[in-house]
Structure 1
Amino acid sequence: MKKYLSSLLAGLLMSTLSGIAHAADPIPLKVGIRGGIGEQIWEVVTEVGKTHGLAIEPIVFAGTLSPNEALNNGEINANAFQHIPFFRDQIKQRGYNLAVVGNTYLSPLAFYSKQYKSLQDLPQNAKIGLPDDPSNGSRALIILQNEGLIKLRDGFDPYNETATFADIKENPRNLQFLEVKSVVLARSYQDVDAAAVISSFGSQVGLNAARDGIAQEKVENNPNVNIIVVREQDKDQPWVPLLVKSFQSDEVRAYIERELKGVIEPAF
């Protein structure tokens, strides 16, 4: 009987220790991001994630590779690279089964120019480089309207609609628009009179919206906040709020305000 009880107690002890060790195992998560700013911030998020029991592995997607496609296919667990209008357009175009679970930051889109100090200085028939994706192209058109260079149709709603060239009702300077991939615009903005560049790409070539931009979108009431996205089927998983909490932390806010001031703004 004593031998049996000793074996039983030993077994229970081993089971308990095994359970504790298992509970302590970090949850591995692959998160799709873009390079540059994304890599910098997610180094901090990864460290914070360890305190929440997460083993976050940022996966950098370059060029035309899509973090949304990879997420939808189950190749990664989450992504954090896009704003709401871009996400909305992707869902409409691709039919992805994805869900938004948290905000990260605003990466302001700004216009840059080697020749002119402001958009007001642009001449007639000026060549303007715009991002070739619908959502960021829309952001650029809204800036041009806010600066008085064009007028969009009455009733346009930036929260629920994407502006296109067809929505331009007035263009008194006859601006000539060229649609170019954002990664190319950042490196060749000097080849046109002015170009709209997303901060995440601009920072890779040393551009700072607050310092170098000749006009940028307003932060207040801006629908273009970047987000964390997961698959619809995973949105209620216990690791999701831990991932969001890891980003929306004091450590990440402090890093953004210290190292990336004028490039991005916290949106949490």
Structure 2
Amino acid sequence: MIKKTSITLAGLALLLSQNLYAAPLRVAADPVPHAEILAYVKKIDPKLDLSIVQMSGGGINPNELLASGDVDANYFQHLPYLKDQEKALGKKFAVVAAVHIEPLGIYSHKYKSLAELPVGATIAVPDNASNLSRALRLLQDKGVLKLNATGDSTSTLLTQADIIDNTKKIKIIPVDSPQIPRSLDDVDAAVINGNYALEAGLVPARDALGLESAKNNPYANLLVTRPELVNDPRIQELAKDLTSPQVAEFIRKTYQGSVIPVAGPSHD
């Protein structure tokens, strides 16, 4: 009896190994550019049955979906945000690949240069800790204000309390990230994440008054899963696809510098 059971289990293992992609791989992603990039992966790798769950900034947290098992992976966030989420949710996630960078940008419907910003200008920035810190560093890099900035940009999170020189008396207004493009008419300028800028019809490489440098940028967008799924063949296949030269070329041609591919995978 034991021998027959062993054979049955071995046969099942062989069957599974021959049909690795029988179950769809459910991946939560922002519509632009993440879901668009995943749609391209579906086209070039049809044997990987991808089920793309698009997130539209409606209050659903892709990391909560991942932690609860409602999706198998997500693709929308950078490492500082992920670390902040792990603390907030009390969960541990696994980075499988670093795929692309979306440079953070400063935009305005009222002014054509940062030099035109008046005294007392209002600037909307993301309200979550990691992107608020990132936005403040960008404003400093572009000469809008000065920070008491020390340490690595991904491990040292800055707040408005770190502003030490604000000659123009700029008013920083934290806003929920997906809502910032809609607030452009109500403020003098806004710091917007690349994906939300693209969704709003902005072209970061063309429209931003100031754009984050891609060189040595620590904010690459990641493919993330649960620790127990890291070696799942479907996850590994998707990571291989997302970091392939073919997908990198698609990103370069499609987004023309507004989204920049990362050279290769990153296992953190």
TM-score by length of 2: 0.87
The alignment partner of 2:155 has SS state of coil
Contact 1:85 1:162 in 2 (8 A): no
CA distance in 1, matches of 2:74, 2:209: 31
- Whether 2:259 is the aligned partner of 1:264: answer yes
In structure 2, what residue type is equivalent to 1:117? K
Question: Once the two structures are superposed, what CA deviation does each residue of 1:212-233 show, in whole Å capped at 9, x if it has no partner?
Answer: 0000111111111100101012
CA distance in 2, matches of 1:124, 1:108: 27
Root mean square deviation of aligned Cα: 2.1
- 1:36 Cα deviation (Å)? 2.6
Equivalent residues in 2 for 1:55-134 (5 A)? 55-62=49-56, 63-134=58-129
In structure 2, what residue type is equivalent to 1:29? L
CA distance in 2, matches of 1:158, 1:210: 23
Find the partner of 2:30 among 34, 39, 47.
Answer: 34
Contact 2:124 2:191 in 1 (8 A): yes
In structure 2, what residue type is equivalent to 1:198? N
CA distance in 1, matches of 2:103, 2:236: 26
Contact 2:20 2:233 in 1 (8 A): no
Question: Once the two structures are superposed, what CA deviation does each residue of 1:220-255 show, in whole Å capped at 9, x if it has no partner?
Answer: 111111001010122233333212001112221121
Gapped regions of structure 2 (runs ≥ 5): 1-10, 264-268
The alignment partner of 2:156 has SS state of coil
Query: Considering only CA atoms, is the larger Rg found in Structure 1 or Structure 2?
Result: 1
- 1:48 Cα deviation (Å)? 3.2
Question: Once the two structures are superposed, what CA deviation does each residue of 1:83-135 show, in whole Å capped at 9, x if it has no partner?
Answer: 11111111122112211111011011101112212222211110111111111
Gapped regions of structure 1 (runs ≥ 5): 1-15
The alignment partner of 1:155 has SS state of coil
The alignment partner of 2:158 has SS state of coil
Partner of 1:135: 130
Partner of 1:190: 185
Find the partner of 1:46 among 30, 42, 45.
Answer: 42
- 1:177 Cα deviation (Å)? 1.1
- 1:194 Cα deviation (Å)? 0.5
CA distance in 2, matches of 1:206, 1:156: 35
CA distance in 2, matches of 1:239, 1:59: 16
Structure 1's 175 and 156: CA in aligned 2 closer, same or farther, altered over 3 A?
farther
